[in-house]
Every structure is written in structure tokens, then in C-alpha cells.
Structure 1
Amino acid sequence: MHSLKITAFSISCLFLAASCNPLSDDSESDLFNKQQEVSPYAVNLINHIFGNEGTFRGFELGEEFHIIKEKEDLEQFEETDDEYAYTFETDNDEIVDIYYSHLEGELNEVLVDIYLNTDSLTAEMASGISQFLTIRYGHPEVDSLFHWEINETDKVQMKVVKKELDHGLQVTYSREKP
């Protein structure tokens, strides 16, 4: 079922690439309120970051935490009692860091920092990830962040990071205690 949604995402991105106007980068809210072309590079990067199984990269919130270390195939750069951290770098020197955290032995949060080289790629990725998450979870709730409800206890949110040296996106999957 998820691979069908991923295929639908890829097709919709190609359709949008052919039919949408470029995104103005004057305002952070524009990153989410308008659709933008999503290049094959961005689609491939989104698919590599999120994977095509499970809630995120084949994992489910609430799953036993130790399974991440057994199955995650990215380079691990940090391990603490509460967190595993993985990273990868693209051919264009963008960096993606993924932090898996647990509560009482169960995965309860995934934080994804996506460091991108340009504001235009940040806008394109924001549009593409927003489309990807909307296909999976429906239309987002909008306040200062965009967030999607996965189910009654799980949600995912995305925000744009614009700092002097770093810019990109941050995506957080989280589980609330029932």
C-alpha cells in the first residue's frame, strides 16, 4: 500500500513539475501555501530520507527501540542511552541527520535535520515533503508549523530552518503518551 502511495507521490510530483509556477522565496509561509516544481533530484532525496515502508524508513513509532540499530543501514555517528543518530551526505554535499529517540524502550520520536545548500532547494524540498506527507496523512493542520496526524497518538511536523549558516528543513515524528 505504501509503495502505491510513493508511486502516486512520484507521479504527482512529475505532474506538478510540468504544471505549477515557481515558488516565491520571499516568505516562509509561501513554502507551504504554494505548490512548486519538484525535480527528480528532490523526489529521489525525499524517497531516500523517508523510505517507502512504515511510518519512517521502515520503522513505526511505538516499535521496540533496539530494532533500529539492527535494521537502519545509514552511517551511525552517535549513540546514547536515549538516542541513536545516523547521517548521510548527498553527491551535492547536502547532509541529512536522523535522530531516533525512545521512551521506556519504544521509539517515540524521530527528528530529521535536512541541511540544504540553497534557499531554492529548501523551498522545493518543503513543497515536495509537504506533498509526500499530505498523500500519506491527509491535509496538514497549519499554525506556526505544518503538522499532520498519523493516528490518535502519532503526528509529524515540518518547519523551515533559516539561520545564518544553516538552512534547510526539520521534520519531527512524535508519539504522545496516551
Structure 2
Amino acid sequence: MKKTLRLLSLVFLSACSHSTENEETLQENEEAFPSHFSTETDKFINAVFGDQGGTIRGFDLGDPKIKIKDMESLSLIDEADSTLAYSFESKDFELVDINYKFNAQEKLDGVQVDIYLNEEGQTNEMYTAIRKYFTLKFGPAAGNEPKETWPVNGGGSVSIKAVNHKIDHGLQINYYKAS
């Protein structure tokens, strides 16, 4: 009987310490990624990445080309054997290009998302918001800024890069299969 009580006590204490560790990790994530982004930023992120599940816009790396062609709701701007390119413009005139890349078996092998923003300040806010989105969706990033990567469904990774030139402002996001 005493052994059973000791065992139960150890299990209880162990569970309590894991709960504290999880709460500390959650608190660290909230501090690292502030939640004060505008509703417009959240809407824009949903428009880009979709809310249908999957890795991006309801799709996972390895999905067949025909599935993406049949289900993608954006405007198709280019189609080739190894790519499908889609584009849309936000109400604030930000432009988003999404290029799905396929291997010889017509399976999704990578996705490049180019987000063209109007101002340099938008790039910094959007970069931080997308980092938070990736961390919440995929877990902690490997590596350090600016070379962070997040693991994604289908055995791949995603990375983000800020682009700030004299006239170009935006982000480039790359999903790719592990080699």
C-alpha cells in the first residue's frame, strides 16, 4: 500500500512539474511573439496562408498537382509542367504571388510565397507576425534569425526572409521538401 501511495505521489509531482514547464514555455513564446498585431494583419495572414488546415492553404508537401489545381481558389496566372502560379491583391494594394513547385511525379515539392508590401514598416510588422504564426502552427524554429526554419507536414521546412530595398519591400517565404 505504501509503495502504491509513493508511486502515485511521484506521478502527481512529475505531472505538476511538466505543467509548470509547459506554462513557462508558453509564457516565453508569448513574450517572444507579442499578440498586439492588428486585426488587418491577422486577416492578411489568413488570406495568404489560408485557414483550411494543411501546411499552406489546405495543402501539404507531397500532394498531387491536380489536387492543388482543382482546389486553389486564387487567380491562376501561370501554369507549366513543374509550376502553378497564383496571385492576389489585398484591399490595401499589397500583392501576393504563390508559386507551387512540382517534381517529375507531379507531387508538390515546394512553395514560394512573395509578399509585396507598400512600406518598409509593414515588412517588419508582417515578418514578426508570420514568425509568430509559424511558431504557433509548426512549433519552435530551428536556427536563429534570419536563418530560422520551421518543420512542416510532408517532411519539409519553411523559412522566411525580409526584403527591404529602395523601392521593394516585402517578404519571401519558402516551403521545401527535405533533401
Q: Cα RMSD (Å) of the superposition?
A: 2.1
Equivalent in the alignment of 1:86: 86
Aligned to 1:130: 131
Q: Which residue of 2 aligns with 1:168?
A: 170
* 1:40-88 residue CA offsets vs partner (Å, 9 max, x unmatched): 1110000111112111001110011121111101011111111010000
Instruction: Work out which structure has the larger RCO, using CA pairs closer than 8 Å and 6 or more positions apart in sequence.
Output: 1
Match of 1:42? 41
> Structure 2 matches for 1:54-69, cutoff 5 A?
54-69=54-69
**Which residue in the other structure is 2:151 paired with?**
149
Q: Is the 8 A contact 1:38 1:127 kept in 2?
A: no
1:102 corresponding residue in structure 2: 102
Runs of 4+ in structure 1 off by over 3 angstroms are 33-37
Q: Distance in 1 between matches of 2:143 and 2:86?
A: 29
Structure 2 CA distance for aligned equivalents of residues 43 and 151 of structure 1:
22
Question: 1:34 and 1:41 mapped to 2: Cα distance?
Answer: 17
Aligned residues: percent identity?
35
Q: Which runs of 5+ in 1 are unaligned?
A: 1-15, 21-32
Q: 1:159 aligns with which of 158, 161, 166?
A: 161
In the alignment, which residue of structure 1 is the partner of 2:10?
none
More helix by share: 2
SS state at 1:55 partner? coil
Q: Which runs of 5+ in 2 are unaligned?
A: 1-29
- Across the two proteins, how many residue pairs are aligned to each other? 148
1:74–1:166 CA distance, 2 compared to 1 (3 A): same
Q: Distance in 1 between matches of 2:49 and 2:66?
A: 19
Q: Look up the equivalent residue of 2:170 and give its one-letter code.
A: G
* Aligned-partner residue type, residue 171 of structure 1: I
Instruction: Give the secondary-structure state (helix, strand or coil) at the position aligned to 2:67.
Output: helix
Matched residue, 2:8: none
Cα separation, 2, equivalents of 1:152 and 1:106: 11
Correspondence for 1:119: 120
Contact between 1:85 and 1:98, CA under 8 Å: does it hold in 2? yes
TM-score (ref. length: structure 1): 0.76
User: Which secondary structure does the structure 1 equivalent of 2:122 belong to?
Assistant: helix
Q: Which amino acid aligns with 2:68?
A: I
